[in-house]
Amino acid sequence: MEINKTQFDIKIHLPRMQQIVFTDLNQQLHDILNTYQYCIDDNAHWYPDRSTAKGKPKALIYSPEGFTEYGLKKLSRACKQIDTRGSVLFFFADSQKLSNCNLMSYSGYKAIEGFQAGESSVGFYFNLPESKQIIDKMASFITGLAQKFSHNFITMNSREIPSSIYIFPPRINLSLMAYIPSPLQHKDYPEVYQLIPIIKENTHVGTVIVLFDHFPNRQNINDIKTMYSVELKLREADLLPMKHDL
């Protein structure tokens, strides 16, 4: 039986800072990769893009034990590049899966003096079977990330579903899942599969939105209607920020 696979990405918009420094970057990426290992793969080994465990074993960046010395040097160089060149972009690959690497990217931009703080984000890129088990696993991953970064937006979008960016102004969009740092109630969004509250100090600070219990199909008009209905409600409530404000 043929198994359908789908491509999707998860993006974490990290807190804006006046300066992106090594200690902050190290802690943020450790928290993210540690959550990945807890929710996705407890034996993930991360290498530079296009390296493999067989090809360059000394190029290991992060393992279940944490960052290696090589990995810490890479983070230090990235911070220096942001400071001197204004930006950096690098990739890690979960290269134990030699035939199907899950990629992670980090992008960071230097603060613009007198205008806005530095911007950074982390992305994950997947190509996995379409199943409810994968939906549940990704919901667990995003929930884990939201518990670490409860003030920041997190999105999961399919590369095979048309983006609403062509219909609405360029705000973050919603096609699979999202974490919104606002308390949402299911009575206001009855069409969604699941709303997962994020609680901090006994306060409902944010909500993970899981749109479907399946991967949406662009040929299924009900899936598309649900997607745009929820996104429109969030936009009308001013809960989806402009991309340049993140």
3-state DSSP assignment of residue 113: coil
> What would the pLDDT profile of 137-181 be if each residue is shown by its tens digit?
999 999 999 999 999 999 998 776 655 544 555 666 677 899 999
Q: Note whether 165 and 242 are same-domain residues.
A: yes
> What would the pLDDT profile of 90-111 be if each residue is shown by its tens digit?
988 887 655 456 889 999 998 8
The reported pLDDT for the residue numbered 218 is 76
d(CA 119, CA 127): 27
Q: Which domain holds residue 203?
A: 132-246
In a domain, 190, yes or no: yes
Tokens coding 168 = 């609405």
Q: Note whether 93 and 41 are same-domain residues.
A: yes
Residues contacting 222, CB < 8 A, separation 6+: none
- What kind and span of H or E run contains 92? strand 87-94
Amino acid type, 113: E
Helices (H), ranges, the chain: 22-39, 69-85, 132-148, 221-236
d(CA 206, CA 152): 9
In a domain, 3, yes or no: no
Q: Note whether 82 and 112 are same-domain residues.
A: yes
CA dihedral 216, 155, 191, 188 (to 10 degrees): -170
Q: Note whether 89 and 144 are same-domain residues.
A: no
> What would the pLDDT profile of 200-223 be if each residue is shown by its tens digit?
999 999 999 999 998 888 788 898
The reported pLDDT for the residue numbered 52 is 58
Count of domains in the chain? Answer: 2
The reported pLDDT for the residue numbered 119 is 85
Q: The whole model's pTM is what?
A: 0.89
Q: Note whether 81 and 157 are same-domain residues.
A: no
